[in-house]
Amino acid sequence: MAVERTLSIIKPDAVAKNVIGKIISRFEDAGLAVVAGRMMQLSREQAEGFYAVHRERPFFGELVSFMISGPVFVQVLEGDNAIAKNRDLMGATDPKKADPGTIRADFADSIDANAVHGSDSAENAAIEIDYFFKPEEVTVRR
Ligand code: RTP
Ligand code: MG
């Protein structure tokens, strides 16, 4: 299995619930490591740019409003198969459909307030990491 990096965001609902540590523990327990991370209050422009692929979707306005409703924790996770592994740990977009034991099943309230974001492909992981972190901000594990 290849070592990959993926972008993860702990969204405003989960930050407000004070469960950043509990969510990061899910990643660490599954063999992923945090190699970059920071708290941020996204501007509207940053959120719109990040979710630009969804610009034409009916939920875009709500998505952006939600993502700027409070601080987020953005991080880079690294490990074997990190992109798919993160998506598995997150669970389905709609927490009502997420498998028991996934982050969204356990911490999310709705399809809008769904606790976490994770890159969905290698191509998007590279773009999304680059969107939030300079190369020198992503550390090398030893
Ligand atoms: P994310 O990008 O945040 O990791 O979530 P995802 O891949 O599971 O879902 P995606 O299709 O990329 O959608 C991005 C976010 O938009 C909201 N959404 N609302 N009302 C709706 O039908 C709907 N569909 C998507 C969700 O908050 C989702 O996380
Ligand atoms: Mg997505």
Q: Identify the three-state secondary structure at position 87.
A: helix
102-113 tens-digit pLDDT: 999 999 999 999
CA nearest ligand 1 atom 10, residue: 93
Q: With cut-offs at 50, 70 and 90, classify the pLDDT of residue 73.
A: very high
| Nearest atom within ligand 1 for CA of residue 114 | 27
Whole-model pTM? 0.97
Nearest to 70 by CA among 109, 94, 42: 42
Cβ–Cβ < 8 Å for 90, 104: yes
Any atom of ligand 1 within 6 Å of the Cβ of 43: no
Lookup: tokens for 103: 């982050």
Four-point Cα dihedral 108, 126, 3, 105, nearest 10: 10
Regarding an ipTM greater than 0.85, the answer is: yes
Lookup: tokens for 92: 């389905």
Instruction: Determine the residue of 62, 93, 111 to mutate for testing ligand 1's pocket, defined as the one with the most ligand atoms within 8 A of the Cβ atom.
Output: 93
Lookup: tokens for 18: 């004070």
Lookup: tokens for 136: 């020198």
Q: Which residues of 52-83 are buried (b: 16+ CB within 10 A; e: fewer)?
A: eeeeeeeeeeebbebbbbeebbbbbbbbeebb
Mean pLDDT over residues 66-87, rounded? 98
Mean pLDDT over residues 59-81, rounded? 98
* Structural domains in the chain, sorted by start: 1-41+70-135 (3.30.70.141)
* pLDDT attached to residue 142: 86
**What percent of the chain is helix, strand and coil (3-state, nearest 5)?**
45, 20, 35
